[in-house]
Amino acid sequence: MTSRPPSTASAPRERAARFQTISGREISRVYDAPSRADAPADPGVFPYTRGIHATGYRGKLWTMRQFAGFGTPEETNERYRHLLAAGGTGLSVAFDLPTLMGRDPSHPLSLGEVGKCGVSVVTLADMETLFAGIPLGDVTTSMTINSPAAMVFAMYLVVAEQQGVPWTALSGTIQNDILKEFIAQKEYIYPPRASMRLVTDTFAFCAREVPRWNSISVSGYHIREAGATAAQELAFTLRDGIEYVQYGVDAGLAVDDFAPRISFFFNAHSDFFEEIAKYRAARQVWATVMRDRFGAKSDRSWKLRFHAQTAGVSLTAQQPYNNVVRTALQALSAVLGGANSLHTNSLDEALALPTEDAATLALRTQQILAHETGVASVADPLGGSYFVEALTADLTREALDYIARIDAMGGMVAAIERGFPQREIAESAYRFQQAVERGEQVIVGVNDHIASDEPPVEILYIDDTATERQAERLESVKARRDQASVERALDGVRRAAAGTDNLMPPILDAVRAYATLGEMCDALREVWGEWEESVVI
Amino acid sequence: MSKIRVVIAKPGLDGHDRGAKVIARALRDAGMEVIYTGLRQTPEQIVAAALQEDADAIGLSILSGAHNHICPRVMELLREQGLDDVLVVVGGIIPDVDIPRLKEIGIKGVFLPGTPMQAIVDFIQGNVRTRQA
């Protein structure tokens, strides 16, 4: 792969002394043809740089999966029905912070948080309402839930039971990626090693009982949002994936039994070509790692499937309509990079959760990409672009370097315990902010092209009534449930946590007894304790 | 003159700490003494930190929408502790309609997404109580 030396004195004047990507990567003026030996294999062929399907999107378009959730289960159920009626092809549940942290609405730390950033789910009764009138055999559902993933997944499984849908017919994803919580998003409860046990228990359970379910979505999204560069997002995510596979193998699972159900989740950020190259690099590194490092035999283990979401962090509160343009371009990069499923952000998300109109426009953006631009008619349209191939090679090398460094630390859990990825990300975040501050990184409407008077946009204002309504619902559930079976089931959870039995069966029992999420998470807190990070700034 | 002492805190359950950490560093680079509390601090813990650290200012980072509950509680506890002269600012995702109410209870600065770090540095330097060295 060749790039030409920087401009010489005789070259025409350029706008800047150096051209960089948003991640700070220096870019040459022009790229030359790679040598024939570097030409990537065809789409659908190992190592899948050009895509996991020989037919690209000709066989099946990406899934248009819009993340949504707010207030009570009734309100969110209504939004889901709207999104499905508008042509959305999958559901994606956003939970509120108390749910993400395994706290009941009555806990002091839940103050003001119930139903704010997502939907509040406390017991099985809430999950029943959330999916009322939505046949779980006919939709695929992604649930963004991590520390309490096993409990929330168990609730979903019991709702399927009630609807008469066999678990083998269910398809969807639980995020279940605790490592990126320690690294970036910080919604962790238990210490890393105990948390990993919960994850491997869900791997084993899914492999046996819910074979079409993605038991994890290894996520770079939040790592990028926290400030990582493209290379760091790629590297830390893939290294997290390696950690999960290693823990699964160490727990006695056969790699080809669970690796095919590992999916990924990447950010679709603003630097167009670097993002496309990132997805291509991700596929080729993962395929090679799975085959050569873990000895996976099944091509389903080698193929990296990923969801992408446009970059929330790139959205601006200033001139919010500009965000429609940002999102469309980011979404285009994800599609050109072969995303298997996509969420497009709404224009108002730097201000609040999206209104229904804004969410619809975001979905329409994907539909226009799919049906009007022609980009879905050809696999890997940018394959062979000198620039994209060079970037793909660079990102691959950088990811492998980081992976080797983390291997040398003893793996990702060990690296997290010493604060390595956290520090790298904080450093990148600060560097980016300084570039913005100095005006080297232009953000239209924020530090350049500023408008003096902007008309306000209408936002979704979430009032505080969800707290009260959820508290009332919970009271009525508690009045109806059999307290003795709840206690018995929670004991079962504690016993399994202290021993080595798979935690999913006792968690399912607790869910069926209408134990609250807080009660189930507390049972594990009693056995495992809670994690507190050492602060890195 | 002694350094301005600032407690940067992340109340509530939210873990998105990019903004809190970036601003903590920017204040430190501007010559302030910064105490970052870490995540999931209750209003009680935040006020205790301000008291213990003899803080001149408190910066709260709230993105989750819980500001209407958390901010009044922090202000009430500060008054109870006799820390009325501590400058309190909030940064994060705050709907416009909520800003007047926050100002009313004594939050001096509300910084929305896209605010330059320097603007926050200047605001704190310009509004903090004067300290007798």
Query: Would the pLDDT of A411 be above 90?
Result: yes
H/E run at residue A146: none
Per-residue pLDDT tens over the stretch A235-274: 999 999 999 999 999 999 999 999 999 999 999 999 999 9
Count other C-beta atoms under 10 Å from residue A169's C-beta. Answer: 12
Altogether, the residues listed in chain B come to a count of 133
The b-or-e profile of B80-101 (16+ CB within 10 A means b, else e) is eeebeebbbbbbbbbbeebeee
Question: What ipTM does this complex have?
Answer: 0.93
Question: d(Cα A218, Cα A205) in Å, to the nearest integer?
Answer: 18
Contact (CB, 8 A) for A489 and A509 = yes
Q: Tell me the C-alpha to C-alpha distance, in Å, between residue A511 and each of A119, A130, A469, A498, A524.
A: 18, 15, 21, 19, 14
Nearest CA distance, A4 vs chain B (angstrom): 36
Question: Is B58 a domain residue?
Answer: yes
pLDDT attached to residue B1: 63
Stretch 296-315 of chain A: residues touching chain B, C-beta under 8 Å: 313
Chain A from 335 to 374: CB within 8 A of any B CB: 350-352
Instruction: Give the model's pLDDT for residue B133.
Output: 45
Q: Which fold has domain A48-437?
A: TIM Barrel (3.20.20)
Write down the pLDDT at residue A290: 98
Q: Judge: A462–B40 Cβ closer than 8 Å, yes or no.
A: no
What value, to the nearest 5°, has the Cα angle with vertex B113 and ends B111 and B117? 65
pLDDT of residue A7: 52
Q: Which residues pair with B58 in a beta bridge?
A: B7, B88
Residues of A in contact with B34 (CB under 8 A): 537
pLDDT for the residue B131? 63
- Closest residue, chain B, to A431 (C-alpha): B22
Closest alpha carbon within chain A to B68: A112
Give me the pLDDT at residue A237, please. Answer: 98
- CA distances to A47, A105, A475, A504, A509 from A483, rounded to whole Å, are 54, 19, 13, 21, 13
Q: CA neighbours within 13 Å on the CB side: how many for A54?
A: 1
Residue at B15: amino acid letter? G
Give me the sheet containing B57-62, strands edge to edge: B33-36, B5-9, B57-62, B87-92, B109-111
Query: Which residues sit opposite A31 in a β-bridge?
Result: A3
Chain A to chain B, count of Cβ pairs less than 8 Å apart? 109
User: Domain range spanning residue B105?
Assistant: 5-127
- Which amino acid belongs to residue A15? R
pTM: 0.94
Is residue B39 a contact partner of residue A188, using CB atoms and an 8 Å limit?
no
* A252 in B contact zone (CB under 8 Å): no
Q: What is the CATH number of the domain that holds B18?
A: 3.40.50.280
Q: pLDDT of A71-94, one tens digit each?
A: 999 999 998 998 889 887 789 999
Cα A220–Cα A156–Cα A88 angle in degrees, nearest 5: 60
Q: Kindly give, in sequence order, each residue whose CB lies less than 8 Å from that of residue A412, ignoring residues fewer than 6 positions away.
A: A179, A236, A239, A240, A242, A243, A406, A421
Mean pLDDT of chain A: 94
Burial A145-154 (b: 16+ CB within 10 A, else e): bbbbbbbbbb
Q: Tell me: the pLDDT tens digits for A145-175?
A: 999 999 999 999 999 999 999 999 999 999 9
A contact test, residue of B7, B17, B63 with most A CBs within 10 A: B17
Question: Domain tally for chain B?
Answer: 1
A433 in contact with B, Cβ within 8 Å: yes
Helix segments in A56-191, DSSP class H: 73-85, 97-100, 124-130, 149-163, 178-180
- Which residue does chain B place closest to A448, by CA atoms? B114
Chain A residue whose CA is closest to B26: A430
Contact between residue A265 and residue A221 where contact means Cβ atoms under 8 Å apart: yes
Asked whether residue B55 is assigned to any structural domain, the reply reads yes
Nearest by CB: A430 against B22, B73, B112: B22
A359 burial (CB, 10 Å; 0-12 / 13-18 / 19+) is buried
Per domain, the residue ranges of chain A are 48-437
Work out whether the CA dihedral A246, A252, A254, A260 comes out positive or negative: negative
pLDDT of residue A463: 80
Average pLDDT over residues A307-311: 97
Q: Tokens 């948003």 label which residue?
A: A22
Mean pLDDT of A15-30: 92
* pLDDT tens by residue, B41-74: 999 999 999 999 999 999 999 998 899 999 999 9
Which chain A residues touch B68 with a CB distance below 8 Å? 112, 464
Q: Which residues of B touch A535 (CB under 8 A)?
A: 36, 38
Query: Three-state SS across chain B?
Result: CCCCEEEEECECCCCCCHHHHHHHHHHHHCCCEEEECCCCECHHHHHHHHHHCCCCEEEEEECCCCHHHHHHHHHHHHHHCCCCCCEEEEEECCCHHHHHHHHHCCCCEEECCCCCHHHHHHHHHHHCCCCCC
Answer whether A464's CB lies under 8 Å from B68's CB: yes
Q: A97, A182, A316: best mutation site toward chain B, by most B Cβ within 10 Å?
A: A97
**Looking at beta carbons, which residues of chain B come within 8 Å of A116?**
64-66
Q: Which one has a higher pLDDT value, B131 or A373?
A: A373
Is residue B72 situated within a structural domain?
Answer: yes
